[in-house]
Amino acid sequence: MTSKMKRQLFKIIFSFLFMVISLILKIEPDIYSKILFVIAYLIVGYDIVMKAFRNILKGKVFDENFLMTIATLGAFAIGEFEEAVAVMLFYQVGELFQSYAVDKSRKSVASLMDIRPDYANVYREEKTERVDPEDVNIGEVILIKPGEKIPLDGKVVEGESLLNTLALTGEAVPRRVSIGDEVLSGCLNQDGTLKIQVEKQFEESTVSKILDLVENASSRKSKSENFISKFAKYYTPIVVIIAVFLAFLPPLIIQDAIFSDWLYRALSFLVVSCPCALVISIPLSFFGGIGAASKMGILIKGSNYLEALANTEIIVCDKTGTLTEGVFKVQKVIPIGCSEKELLKYAAMAESYSLHPISISLREAYDKDINEKLVTKTKEISGKGVFAKVDGKEVLVGNEKLMDDEKIKFTRSEELGTVVYVAVDKKFCGSILISDKIKEDSYTATKEFKKNHVEKVVMLTGDHENISKSVAEKLNLDEYHAELLPQDKVSWVEKLMTQKSASGKLIFVGDGINDAPVLALSDIGVAMGGLGSDAAIEAADVVIMTDQPSKIVDAIMLSKKTMRIVKQNIIFAILIKIAVLILSAFGIATMWAAVFADVGVSILAILNALRILRVKNWIKR
């Protein structure tokens, strides 16, 4: 509790005591008891009355303070002392609870993103010094002990350890790092001591960028927020005007109508007309939603995007790096007349001088040191492959064309992907299949898309038709379009944008590097594997820190959950308010009910909104 809240609490308690004393003692003559009520009122309502007067001078008549002041002073005027105090008292209790809840949710969202490092241990003049991360310069070496947060981005120069990226990515599996590895600020060092050479200033470090993004996430407001603020703008004046009519018209028109009765009803109207209860729960819900998302490693740049995600109709995905791992790997080795190991050895050695991704993947699969002295007369045959003398044997590694050209009889492989054929001394030895692998997570994700009422999942890729087709079939996608140039992707997204319904949204998911135009064009641009990529964080509306497409499902589910709560709150608040208005117009509801319709409703709405923060309880797959 802040000191302001504590003061407020004291006032409430004192005021309540005075009220109770007055009620119990029933001091005679009546005037003493009334004085006690006035004291109780002033203790708890003085601030409000003062603010109200200040605001009238400025012409702000529909302000909450003013409405409460008129309502309670009116109650005094018609002799309802007890009620005047009670209304003010409960209004203040509600306000106190409200600020407590807001404060609490601010703090719990902040703790969800508790990644800000407090200090850095920097080596200066052969000693370590504990300084503010902002005071560390590029090139300095910092020491990170087990259990400490990495304060700045850099490179490991000494030590080895497991890093926990949970706070950044929502991903629980730790990552092993050793000398030469890049490390990102915000990760938790688990078991070893590391020395890191700093490569970025604190403001440029990953942790600062993420915090900045989360803290400014709600800079764009959602439709629901705009709706409710517009609603509040008309609602309050209308109710106040009706209240005025209610106070003065019936006594003039209806015979035997007692003015004070109708005034009482009108005063209840003023209490119900306060707009705050309606307004507060909506930004609070979105705030909670965005906070919960960051906890899962999903950064959402505005409540408008969180709102839009719930209406996802079409998901357009990039292939390489999004649905597939984006890394070429040897998937299959089919030797003929030799062992798998031998086949790989010849291929890897012949390709040992090349930096082509295919060659790299061959060497990775072989996974042994290559004695380069054994490889001679290496010759690249452009567009076809490589010739080399390995250990005195003539080795050819390449595609079908190479085999045809050299007139080598070989078995054509029907596998999808890149097939490398190997011949030793003009004799075919087998083939090796190298391809990009579909992420395990993509299978889960595409299945879950359908469960969440996504109508269409489309893959756009620059890759070959046959490979794309196989990926699309394996993942059960609705559509795919292959062999596209970047500008073709734009026109496909344009075309797909016309296929959705008026309220439906199109999401584009890519790695965020070459997709800037499509990310901007789609309703929601999602960049994957955002950890460490500034370009992705910059270009997208939603950044997924890990490279799991299933996080999109989480984001959609979270969005739906948030929207359900937002709708519940809007409907609940408006219904209760209208019900109480009608009941008080007929003199059935008392001012007590009116106070409930104001602060009671807002408290319930806030409690409802806070449910979003309990992510763990509902994300289960």
Q: Give the catalytic positions in this structure.
A: 318
Which lies closer to other proteins via its Cβ, residue 95 or residue 554?
95
Q: Which of 41, 264, 287, 328 binds other proteins (CB under 8 A)?
A: 287
Answer yes or no whether residue 45 interacts with other proteins by CB under 8 A.
no
| Contact range with other proteins by CB under 8 A, out of 22-30, 96-104, 293-301, 538-546 | 96-104
Residues 472-531 that bind other proteins (CB under 8 A): none
Contact call for residue 559 and other proteins (CB under 8 A): no
Residue 102 near other proteins by CB under 8 A: yes
* CB-based contacts of 184, cutoff 8 Å, min separation 6: 150, 153, 165, 168, 205, 206, 207, 531, 532
3-state secondary structure of 198: strand
State yes or no: residue 221 binds other proteins (CB under 8 A): yes
* Closest to other proteins by CB, 216 or 411: 216
Q: Measured from the CB of residue 546, what is the shortest distance to other proteins in angstroms? A: 25
- The closest alpha carbon to 594, from 257, 147, 234, 268, belongs to 268
Residue 579 touching other proteins (CB under 8 A): no
Element (H, E) at 440: helix 440-451
Structure token pair of residue 192? 């070893």
Alpha helices in 323-439 (DSSP H): 340-350, 357-366, 400-405
Tell the burial category of 137 from Cβ atoms under 10 Å away from its Cβ (0-12, 13-18, 19+). exposed
The answer to whether residue 83 forms part of the interface with other proteins (CB under 8 A) is no
* Residue of 187, 196, 267, 282 interacting with other proteins (CB under 8 A): 282
Task: Specify the stretch interacting with other proteins by CB under 8 A; choose among 55-63, 198-206, 471-479, 549-557.
Answer: 55-63
161 phi and psi angles, rounded to 5 deg: -165, 170
Distance set, CA 257 to CA 242, 261, 264, 270, 389 (Å): 17, 8, 12, 20, 112
Q: Which of 178, 216, 371, 491 binds other proteins (CB under 8 A)?
A: 216
Q: What's the closest the beta carbon of residue 219 comes to other proteins, in angstroms?
A: 5
* Burial class, 246, CB count within 10 angstroms (exposed 0-12 / middle 13-18 / buried 19+): buried
Task: Pick between residue 75 and residue 290 the one whose CB is nearest to other proteins.
Answer: 290
Q: Which tokens go with 460?
A: 């756009």
Check residue 190 for interaction with other proteins (CB under 8 A).
no
Member of 218, 304, 442, 533 binding other proteins (CB under 8 A):
218
Q: How many residues bind other proteins (CB under 8 A)?
A: 30
Residue 488 CA to residue 495 CA, distance in Å, equals 10
Q: Minimal distance in Å, beta carbon 68 to other proteins?
A: 12
Q: Is 102 or 365 the residue whose CB approaches other proteins more closely?
A: 102
User: Pick from 9, 27, 35, 279: which binds other proteins (CB under 8 A)?
Assistant: 279
Residue 245, C-beta contacts closer than 8 angstroms, at least 6 positions apart: none
Q: Does 611 bind other proteins (CB under 8 A)?
A: no
- Return the range that interacts with other proteins (CB under 8 A); candidates 17-25, 276-284, 389-397, 541-549: 276-284
Tell the smallest beta-carbon distance from residue 599 to other proteins (Å): 11
Residue of the chain from 78, 211, 276, 484 that contacts other proteins (CB under 8 A) = 276
Residue 366 near residue 348, CB atoms below 8 Å: yes
- Continuous segment of H or E residues that includes residue 288: helix 276-295
**Residue ranges in 547-597 assigned as alpha helix (H):** 550-585, 591-595
State how far the Cα of 360 lies from the Cα of 30, in Å rounded to an integer: 96
Interaction site with other proteins (CB under 8 A): 54, 58, 60, 63-64, 95, 98-99, 102, 105-106, 215-221, 229, 232, 275-276, 278-280, 282-284, 286-287
